[in-house]
Amino acid sequence: MLKNFRDKVTFSGITVLMLGVALLVATFISAYGFLSQSLSLLGSSDLVGIFGESLAPLIATVIRIMYLGVMGWIGSLLTIRGVTLILNAPKMEIVVPQKAIVQQQKPVPAPQKAKPEAKPPPPPQPEAKPSEPEFIVIPPEEVAQLPGAPPKEQEQQQQQNDSPPSQTSSQ
């Protein structure tokens, strides 16, 4: 049935996609059934009694809504993963057999003997002097100050002024 890797990936992608779609359909059917139920409004003169009686159905409704939200979220994730698997399945390369091309070999000409050329001797190199070390100067970066922000020097002076004065005894 599944002979190569591409077929297996495609089959698993289709399976995950169908599972996600089925979960989404189940979520919408459950939500439709939940919303088609009749809502009953309570009426009473006792406010505490109404609050107590309406709190339990409210909690049950919140739990159902959270359940539907998680179910829809998982269904959409499965659907996205299924589509991704199908789209990113390895592509099959079709190999077309090519006809054998017979090339006629041309006779290779015999190499000719080249005359050795006399090369002049290289010019004498001057004595290599040790090079001086190179210095790289990196200028300091300018720091843009925010408007209204005091410079660092002023901050340091303010900190010194705010600190308690040192007590010196002079007698």
The pLDDT of 56-63, averaged and rounded, is: 83
% helix, strand, coil for the chain, step of 5: 50, 0, 50
Predicted confidence (pLDDT) per residue in 150-171, tens digit = 566 666 666 666 666 555 555 4
Give pLDDT, residue 148.
66
What distances in angstroms separate CA 31 from CA 36, 65, 66, 165, one per listed residue? 9, 8, 11, 74
Give pLDDT, residue 106.
66
Note whether 24 and 75 are within 8 A (CB): yes
How far is the C-alpha of 18 from the C-alpha of 29, rounded, in Å? Answer: 16
Q: Counting Cβ atoms within 10 Å, is residue 159 exposed (0-12), middle (13-18) or buried (19+)?
A: exposed
Which range is most confident: 109-113, 132-136, 138-142?
138-142
Predicted confidence (pLDDT) per residue in 3-27, tens digit = 788 888 888 889 999 999 999 999 8
Which residues, other chains included, contact 24 with Cβ-Cβ below 8 Å and sequence gap of 6+?
A: 72, 75, 76, 79
The one-letter amino acid at 120: P
pTM of the predicted model, to two decimals?
A: 0.44
Which range is most confident: 51-60, 69-78, 94-103, 115-124?
69-78
Which three-class secondary structure string do you get for 8-45?
HHHHHHHHHHHHHHHHHHHHHHHHHHHHCCCCCCCCCC
